Amino acid sequence: MSLVQKGRWITLVALVCLGAVYVRALAFTPVERLQGPAQKIFYLHVPAALWTEAAMVLVGLAGIFYLFLKDPRLDRFAEASAEVGTVFATIVLTTGPIWGKPIWGTWWTWDARLTSTLFLFFLYVGYLLVRGAVRDPGLRARYAAVLGICGMCLVPFIHLSVFLFRTLHPQPIILKPSAPSLPNSMLATWLLSLAAFTLLYVGFVTQRYALSLARAAQQGRSSEAGHV
């Protein structure tokens, strides 16, 4: 089985899992009394946000290792992770305001968490634009690695921004030093969603990596044909 096919199968399993999350979240998970049904956006928003941050950390780590090892596989992985991270960041930045409107009374506020997440999204877009703009593969990989490392440095700030600044955004209720402050039925739905998003990340990145590999092989063949 080729890498693309593996990626497709993982993505298919992930989408089926996500379908199960939808059914469980919408039909079998209790409604939170204070926020109402809008609280169920939590099951999509938070796993997408975690993978938006994790994807950028992986882009940064791949960038650091690339600068030392110059292994093109690291650059390809970083590119794939950045593209998938952009997709997840789009989900975060659309579901967040939809959740914020009924709960905060506003679609958007320029507080630290929201603004820094938007900045991360722009970094992702900038990263992809740089990759598209620079023709030389070595130079492109170096520029991208530096940008990825900058993005990685932003992630802890985003995560800690709710502690460092006074924000409308709530503090973590799962990823915190003490036990999660959620009933077990809600926690189980959230964990299932996190597993589905994790599989989605793996499936998408595998396919995107295979696409980069195919493009590199095609470029190699074209340049060989040009030399003949």
Site for other proteins, rule CB under 8 A: 4, 7-8, 11, 15, 18, 22, 25-26, 31, 33-38, 40-41, 44-45, 48, 84, 87, 90-91, 94-95, 98-99, 101-102, 200, 204, 207-208, 210-211, 214
Q: How far is the CB of 186 from other proteins (least distance, A)?
A: 14
Q: Which is nearer to other proteins, 66 or 127 (CB)?
A: 127
**Burial letters 116-149, b for 16+ CB under 10 A, else e:** bbbebbebbeebbeebeeeeeeeebbbbbbbbbb
Q: How far is the CB of 76 from other proteins (least distance, A)?
A: 14
Residue carrying structure tokens 């595998």: 206
Q: Which is nearer to other proteins, 105 or 177 (CB)?
A: 105
Calpha distance 137→182 (Å, rounded): 48
Of the candidates 143, 147, 52, the residue with the CA atom closest to the CA atom of residue 91? 52
Calpha distance 44→18 (Å, rounded): 9
Q: How far is the CB of 98 from other proteins (least distance, A)?
A: 4
Q: How far is the CB of 64 from other proteins (least distance, A)?
A: 27
Q: Which is nearer to other proteins, 177 or 224 (CB)?
A: 224
Q: How far is the CB of 91 from other proteins (least distance, A)?
A: 5
Q: Which is nearer to other proteins, 120 or 145 (CB)?
A: 120
Calpha distance 132→214 (Å, rounded): 17
Q: How far is the CB of 32 from other proteins (least distance, A)?
A: 8
- Tokens at 182, concatenated: 């959620």
Calpha distance 158→175 (Å, rounded): 14
Q: Which is nearer to other proteins, 34 or 228 (CB)?
A: 34
104 to 38, 98, 101, 170: CA distances (angstroms): 12, 10, 6, 11
Q: Which is nearer to other proteins, 23 or 164 (CB)?
A: 23
